[in-house]
Structure 1
Amino acid sequence: MLSASDRVVLLQHDGLRSLTGKTGLAMLRHRPGPIVAVVDPSQAGGSLPAITGIEREVPVVGTVEEALPLDPEVAVIGLAPSGGRLPDPVRRDVLVALQRGLNLASGLHTRLSDDAELQAACRDDRWIWDLRQEPEQLQVAQARAAALSCHRLLAVGTDMAVGKMSACLELLKAARQRSLPCQFVGTGQAGILIEGGGVALDAVRVDYAAGAVEAAVMSAASTLPADGLVFVEGQGSLCHPGSSATLPLLRGAQPTALLLVHRARQSTIERLTAIPLPPLSELVALTEGLARLAQPAGTVPPQVCGVALNTARLDATAARSAVEALSDELSLPCTDPVRWGADPLLEAMLRSRMK
């Protein structure tokens, strides 16, 4: 329901310097449409580039009221608070936004459209979009995407929050700059908010998760010519004990290429440091092996065509060294697509199609 031209105000309370704000931070980095203001009382009046390192000139204000002269149309909750409930300061700004005639977009687990107070505040000609909900009329996956002629890349990560969405969006940007026909399938709240569509995978019952991905990929492919490109946002990790998202993505998308996403110098699950990551060469082989399963006969199995390396914690010299070392180790193209652009990875994807 969020269009590319909608004028957005981000509700980012205490989230500009915190992981709880990663949805809004992703929108600030990647959304091409207008973001007219960010609401974060703790950073009000500050410079967004200085606070976040994101080179985008957007005013940071203390309340929604202060953002209203900038003519926002949609208030977007850019936070992922613990338990999925709105903290009181955010709720107050949400109420003001609805009372003043703004639409509301939320990726929280809590359905705000079911909140009687918020519904009463929402004008009849406005909407509350709870994007994190299970699509209707789901089916069990049947490997239908394998019959598509378009090239389908799935990002797979060594951990949560290593940059799978960012890598796919940078690939999308690179493909659009070349005027290549392409689509992005968002599978998490930030990706859906940025591109306006997809499926919130963590809101789908496990039996239908692969089917939900399959339907989203089929829908994206229906708008493309035979040589089109579909970039499927990854979720979770095979390496993480709390994640089961990679398998339904593999089953539903039936990818023709895989992109490994990793954070430089990370050797364990970030928030569970007792769990080591396997050697990346072993993870590449394991992922390719899993991708070969549950495919129709005659399907060409996908391979990892490149590595997107998250070097945000390294300086430029160390980042270059890390990219070169990993490329040599795996004999695969490697770059940090956020730092230097995704052209090498796009080239690798296009070459993989010709194999």
Structure 2
Amino acid sequence: MLSSDDPVVLLQHGGLDSLTGKTGLAMLRHRRGPIVAVIDPDHAGGSLETITGIPRDVPVVADLKEALGHGPEVAVVGLAPSGGRLPEPLRLDALAALNSGLSLASGLHTRLGEDPAFAAACQPGRWIWDLRQEPCDLVVAQGRATTLRCQRLLAVGTDMAVGKMSACLALRDAAMGQGLPCRFVGTGQAGILISGTGVPLDAVRVDYAAGAVEAAVLQAAEGLSPDGLVVVEGQGSLCHPGSTATLPLMRGSQPTDLLLVHRAGQTTIDRLPNVPLPPLSELIQLCEGLAAIGRPASAGPAPRVRAIALNTARLDAHGAQRALSTTEDELQMPCVDPIRQGADRILKSVRSKL
């Protein structure tokens, strides 16, 4: 429902300097379409780049009334609060946006369109997009993506929130910058809001999860030339005891290539320090082994990890370069921070087998 040229105001209350605001922060970093204002009373009047490090010139305002002067058409909930409950100031601004004739987009598990107050506030010709809904007409996956002639790259991560979406979008940007036909399949709320389409994997019943990914990949590849690339946003991690997302992504996308995403220096699951991460070399073997099965006999060569996307955001420039060089030497494959360095080297490695 959210088109690439819709002027957006982000409802980011208290989330410009917090992980709870990761959806809006991802949009600020990666959305190509206009973001005309960000609402965050805690930082109103401040410089977005100073607050977040994101080099984008967007005014930070105190409330919806002030944001309306910048001409938004759609309000987007940029927070991912625990339990999906909106903080009261954000709820008030979301309702004010609807009452002012704006549309509203949300990736929360709580469906705002089913809230009577939100439904009543939505003006004629406007919409509320609760994107975290299971698609209709789902079927069990059958490995149909292997019939596609284009490359299909899936990002797999060592943990949650290590930068899989950012790495995929950087790779998409690198491909498009070189004139390579490329499509991005969003599988989480931020990726879908940024691209305007995709499948909210965590809203799909487990029996149909791989089938939902398969359908999204087939749709993304429609009309794509054989030399094109479909980049599938990763979710979760095989290393996380609470995650089930990697297998349906593998089965549904039937990738031709894999990209491993890791945070530099991380040795355990971020919020479960009693759960150690395996050596990256072992995880690469595991991912390649799992991706090699559950494939039709005609699928062609099994996918391989082609590069490492290393998240060095917690390091200074010197520490980042040292981590990149050490990891590349250890694994003998390209190791790149796609936010700091761009993804051209990753793309080159992915395309080198052609």
- TM bucket (normalised to shorter chain) is over 0.9
Q: Measure how far apart 1:65 and its partner are.
A: 0.6
Please tell me whether residue 155 in structure 1 is matched to residue 155 in structure 2: yes
Tell me the residue number matched to 2:293: 293
Number of aligned positions between the proteins: 353
Q: Measure how far apart 1:113 and its partner are.
A: 0.8
CA distance in 1, matches of 2:253, 2:292: 13
Please tell me whether residue 317 in structure 1 is matched to residue 310 in structure 2: no
CA distance in 1, matches of 2:352, 2:79: 38
Tell me the residue number matched to 2:305: 304
Query: What letter corresponds to residue 183 of structure 1 in structure 2?
Result: R
Q: Tell me, what secondary structure is at the counterpart of 2:66?
A: helix
CA deviation vs aligned residue, 1:117-170 (integer Å, no higher than 9, x gap):
111110111000000000000000000001110100000000000000000000
Q: Measure how far apart 1:223 and its partner are.
A: 2.8
Please tell me whether residue 274 in structure 1 is matched to residue 281 in structure 2: no
CA deviation vs aligned residue, 1:165-203 (integer Å, no higher than 9, x gap):
000000000011111111000000000000110000000
CA distance in 1, matches of 2:50, 2:228: 38
CA distance in 1, matches of 2:219, 2:227: 16
Tell me the residue number matched to 2:30: 30
Q: Measure how far apart 1:272 and its partner are.
A: 0.2
- Structure 2 gaps of 5+ residues are none
CA distance in 1, matches of 2:25, 2:88: 21
CA distance in 2, matches of 1:166, 1:38: 20
Tell me the residue number matched to 1:5: 5
CA deviation vs aligned residue, 1:13-38 (integer Å, no higher than 9, x gap):
00001100000000000001100000
CA distance in 2, matches of 1:104, 1:111: 11
CA distance in 2, matches of 1:226, 1:264: 35
CA deviation vs aligned residue, 1:261-313 (integer Å, no higher than 9, x gap):
00000000000000000000000000000001100113210000000000001
Query: What letter corresponds to residue 342 of structure 1 in structure 2?
Result: A
Tell me the residue number matched to 1:90: 90
Tell me the residue number matched to 1:100: 100
CA distance in 1, matches of 2:143, 2:329: 35
Dislocated runs of 4+, deviation >2 Å: none
Q: Tell me, what secondary structure is at the counterpart of 2:49?
A: helix
Tell me the residue number matched to 1:218: 218
CA deviation vs aligned residue, 1:203-229 (integer Å, no higher than 9, x gap):
000000000000000000113111110
Please tell me whether residue 186 in structure 1 is matched to residue 179 in structure 2: no
CA distance in 1, matches of 2:224, 2:85: 38
Tell me the residue number matched to 2:49: 49
Q: How does 1:199-210 map to 2 (within 5 A)?
A: 199-210=199-210
Tell me the residue number matched to 1:336: 337
CA distance in 1, matches of 2:99, 2:30: 29
TM-score under structure 1 normalisation? 0.99
CA distance in 1, matches of 2:178, 2:287: 30
TM-score under structure 2 normalisation? 0.99
Q: Tell me, what secondary structure is at the counterpart of 2:250?
A: helix
CA distance in 1, matches of 2:117, 2:314: 43
Q: How does 1:248-263 map to 2 (within 5 A)?
A: 248-263=248-263
Tell me the residue number matched to 2:352: 351
CA distance in 1, matches of 2:341, 2:263: 15
Q: Measure how far apart 1:317 and its partner are.
A: 1.2
Q: Tell me, what secondary structure is at the counterpart of 1:70?
A: coil
CA distance in 1, matches of 2:292, 2:21: 37
Please tell me whether residue 228 in structure 1 is matched to residue 237 in structure 2: no
CA distance in 2, matches of 1:223, 1:45: 45
Please tell me whether residue 237 in structure 1 is matched to residue 243 in structure 2: no
Tell me the residue number matched to 1:19: 19
CA distance in 2, matches of 1:64, 1:2: 19
CA distance in 1, matches of 2:118, 2:48: 29
CA distance in 2, matches of 1:193, 1:339: 23
- Structure 1 gaps of 5+ residues are none
Tell me the residue number matched to 2:115: 115
Higher mean C-alpha deviation, range 298-307 or range 21-30: 298-307
Tell me the residue number matched to 1:73: 73
Q: Tell me, what secondary structure is at the counterpart of 2:56?
A: coil
Query: What letter corresponds to residue 224 of structure 1 in structure 2?
Result: L
Q: Tell me, what secondary structure is at the counterpart of 2:244?
A: coil
